Each structure stands twice: as structure tokens, then as C-alpha cells.
Chains A and B, each alone.
Chain A
Amino acid sequence: MENIIVCENITHYYGSRLIYENLNFEVKKGKILGLLGKNGTGKTTIINILNGYLKPRSGECRIFREKMENLSPGTKASIGLLLEGHIQHTFFNVRQIEKFYRQFYPNWKAGAYYELLRKLQVSETQRISAMSCGQRSQVALGLLFAQDPDLLILDDFSMGLDPGYRRLFVQYLKEYASNGDKTIFLTSHIIQDMEMLIDDCIILDYGRILLHKPTDYILNKFKRYTFNSSATEIKATDKLWNPEKTGNTWELYSFSPKDEIQQILEPYNIANLKEEKLSLEDAFIGLTGKY
């Protein structure tokens, strides 16, 4: 399957603070990839690098085989970009912004934009600056769908949205992605929205990728185990993620099945080992830790 986004050996620092070292990943055509990470792990930074708005210390990203700093107008027309906070040109009103963007995109679908906006109950002459965050998000989404790009890059699409708008946003994105040729690369700090949407998941830790796996794999394989033990310390390993003790009860996470965990934990005299299936949000906490 064709790679739409390729990032190779991206290293970046803000001053002396390392953001990533040798970051590598790719996004295949037709996939929805979610980039998850705690605050400050560089989710927006990678989106800025991808779109050529930030020059990394070293490494290279390519979108549709073009280098990030020199995207051609044709390639830009194939990329729909949503900036963090649903930033738009707020001096326009609803009709003016559509009129402005229409000229730039050959496959412009004004109907898709106005259909979405009819649900907002705003007049076409309402200025975007006078809209709520949720309404602005729908304007931004409507413009993206009217553009009909092959690749959508969404930076923290759920930021500032109430549950209704978030659900609406996700529904529209799912429908958009149901046409197999569309690719989506997104970040969000509300992970429960991502669970309904993404095929693949990259979890960023400070300075590196912690995990890059299909979402189904994480949801099916990654489990939380709780048990009782008098042990004072259980060391984290590649099979035991983030062990933590509360009172006499231990909690840890693992991709290994229950039998294997039982065996590994034998030296700690454990009792009442229980296995729990996890939501993506729980899995994220299990992988990155609570702190």
C-alpha cells in the first residue's frame, strides 16, 4: 500500500530541550492514524514539521513523495489542514470564507459546506469571530469537506468542543474516511474520540515513539492486571508496564496473556490476579503512566 506520509529520522530540539530523536513513521493510503501523547510530547510540533512550518534539527518528512519544506501547490490542494483550536480567518463571515476558498480548489463542493452549516442555525452573514468554538469547528470542518482533500491533517480536533460537537465531528470524519482513498492523520487529547475513529495509533513519549500499532491490536492485547502482593517493588520491564501499588493491591499493564503474567510474577507471591480489557484511554495511561 502506498505511503502518503513518510517521516525519517526526525530530530528536533526547542533550545536545549529534546523533543524527538530519530523519529520514524509512515501513514499508508486509506488509513486513519492517531497521534497520542501527553502535553509537551510534540504532537503539534510534528504537524508543524509535516506542513513545512518548522524546520527540524535533522531528518525529513515527505507527503505524497514531496519534501515537507517544498510542497507544490498541487500537493497542498490535496491536503486539508486543521490547525489546533480550529483556527480560521475570523474576519470573514460564513459566506465570505466559502467564497474565498472556493477559487483555490478545483473539486470544491460548496454543498458539503452549506449542508453542515445548516445544522448550526447560524446565518450566512454571521462573522466567524462571533461564533462559539463549536460553531467555528463546524465551519472549519465544512471547509475541509468542501475542499475534498485526499489527506486530512487535524491538530487536536476535539480541543474546546463539547461532547455533542465532538461526536458530530467524529461522525463526519468517519463518513469522509469511509471512501477508501482518503487518509487522515490526527491528534487529539481526548482519546475516547479516537477509539471510535482511528485504524492505527502512535503513542509518543518524551523524545520518542513509545508504540506504533493498529488500534485493534492495542485494544485486544493490552490488558490491565491487578493482584495482591506484599512485595514492595516490582520493576517495569518490556512485559510489565507501569507497575504501581495502592495499599496492598498492585496494578500493571501488559501485552502478555494472563498465564505468562502469572509466571513472571511468581517470585512476588501474588494472589487474586485479575485481567481487565481496556479502552484506548486506559491503554494510553497504562503505556505512558499517570504522571
Chain B
Amino acid sequence: MITSIFYKEWIKTRRILLLSLVVFAALITYIFINVEQMFRINGATQVWTETILKDISVLTRIQWLPLILSVLFGVSQFVPEMSNKRLKLTLHLPMPENKIMFSMLAFGLSGLLILYAITYMAILGGLNIYYPPEIVWSMVEASLPWFLAGLAGYLFVAWICIEPVWRHRVFNTLIAAYALTFFMISAKSGAYMPFIPYLLAIIIVAHFFSFYSMYRFKDGSQ
């Protein structure tokens, strides 16, 4: 039955997943064309020196991308459920309701994690050609909160979409926007690492919000 839920979610979101993959691939390609050009024009010594002394990361161009794409992904998954209250059909399936919701979210999180994993593999593969491991790790570390923002953003979108009352949706959106600012603070390399467990905690807590919206939907909140 869970495979069937995954099948439904796949049909809804496959286009946006493919689009996300294409956008990530295009941006990463663009980043590496830029890096190649920098190395060609300025030489490795100067590029490395600037990267280390000025704490510049070539990945800042993708800062907002995980969040934007995960929001689009969440919208493509949950808006069809809420238009004409189709969630009633989903919750009427012969499965415990919590399991249905968990499966839907599990699909979304798995989809995003696979997308992010592919993106990271491409980034690591490319960066390792041009930079030493210490610089690569520093850049990846700095980008981690942005990808976590993608996961949190997805869960917040699920929470907002499933909420049946518009007034509450607006309130939830404000809370979500505020929570997401924690993922987007500018900081020097490595400064964010001690904060990562707290960001993970926000993600874990956000995971439960959709269940709360589902209970409100079930109670017929208007």
C-alpha cells in the first residue's frame, strides 16, 4: 500500500522533480564554467588565496535554490490534495491516517534527499578537481544549512497546504518564514556547524506540524 501512495505522489511531482534536477544541473554546470574561467584567467594560486583569505565560496549561487525548489515540490504534492478537498479521498484509503500522512511526507523527503545527494555528488566531483579537500569541505559545510532549509521548507509547505483554514494558513506561513530565517544567516565558514543540530531539531518538529493540520482537516475546521 505504501508503494501505491508513493506511486500517487510520484505522478503528482515527477515533473517538478525532473525540473529541479535540470535546474540544479544547469546551475552547477554554470558554476564550474565560472570556476574554470577564474582558474584560467587568474591562476590557481590567486584563486585559492582569495578563497581562503576572503572566505569566498563558489556555491553561494545555489543558496536559495534548495528552498525554492522544495517549496515548488511541496506545492505540487499538496495543492492537488487540497483543491476540492481531495485529501478526503486519500484519507478514505484503507490505511491508518497517520501512516498515509507519514508515507506522503516520507516520499517528499526521500525525493528531496535523493535530489540533494545527486547535487552534492556533482558538486564534490567538480570541486575536487579545482580545490584541496579542506576548501571543498569548508564550502560543503557552508552550504549544508541551505539544503536543510530545503527540507524544512518542504515540511512547512505541507503544513501550510493541509491546514484547512485560510487565516491559519497565513499565520503558519509567517511562522514558517521566521523559522526559515535561521537557516539563511550569513556566517563565516564553519561558524554554522554547532548550530546544525538545532536546525535538525526544527526539521524534526516541523515534520509533526502536517499531522496537526490533518487532524484539523479531519475535524472539519472551517
Contact = CB atoms under 8 A, between A and B. Distances in A.
Interface in B27-72: none
21 contacts: A52-B218, A53-B88, A53-B220, A54-B220, A55-B219, A69-B218, A73-B95, A76-B92, A81-B88, A83-B88, A85-B84, A87-B84, A89-B80, A89-B89, A90-B80, A92-B8, A100-B4, A102-B4, A103-B3, A104-B93, A104-B95
A180 interface: no
B11 interface: yes
Nearest to B15: A91
Interface in B69-102: 80, 84-86, 88-89, 91-96
B26 interface: no
A104 B4 contact: yes
Contacts of A52: 218
Nearest 10 Cβ contacts at the A-B interface: A54-B220, A77-B94, A103-B4, A73-B94, A76-B94, A55-B219, A87-B84, A81-B92, A91-B12, A100-B8
Contact of B7 (A55, A76, A99): A99
B222 interface: yes
Interface in A100-159: 100-105
B1 A104 contact: yes
A77 to B, nearest CB: 4
Contacts of A74: 94
Contact of A103 (B1, B91, B220): B1
Given A90-B80, A91-B12, A103-B3, 14 more contacts: A48-B220, A76-B92, A76-B94, A87-B84, A87-B86, A87-B89, A88-B86, A89-B89, A100-B4, A101-B4, A103-B1, A104-B1, A104-B93, A104-B94
A81 B89 contact: yes
A79 interface: yes
A105 B94 contact: yes
A55 B94 contact: no
Contacts of A79: 92
A229 interface: no
Q: How large is the interface on A (under 10, 10 to 19, 20 to 34, 35 or more residues)?
A: 20 to 34
A96 interface: yes
A265 to B, nearest CB: 47
Contacts of B11: 91-92, 96, 100
A169 B175 CA distance: 47
Which of B92, B217, B222 is the most central at the interface, judged by chain A CB atoms within 10 Å of its CB? B92
A84 to B, nearest CB: 9
Interface size class of B (residues with CB under 8 A): 20 to 34
B51 to A, nearest CB: 45
Contact of B85 (A14, A55, A87): A87
A51 interface: yes
Contacts of B96: 73
A77 B7 CA distance: 19
Nearest to B3: A103
A136 B63 CA distance: 43
Contacts of B219: 54-55
Contacts of A91: 11-12, 80
B169 to A, nearest CB: 19
Contacts of A100: 4, 7-8, 11
B218 A53 contact: yes
B4 A88 contact: no
Interface in A39-70: 48, 51-55, 69
Interface in A206-251: none
Given A87-B86, A91-B11, A51 B92 contact: yes
Nearest to A52: B218
Contacts of B1: 103-104
A195 B116 CA distance: 59
A79 B92 CA distance: 9
Contacts of A105: 94
Interface string B160-187: 0000000000000000000000000000
A92 B94 CA distance: 19
A194 to B, nearest CB: 23
Contact of B86 (A51, A77, A89): A89
A14 B92 CA distance: 24
A89 B94 CA distance: 16
Nearest to B222: A14
Contacts of B4: 100-104
A83 B94 contact: no
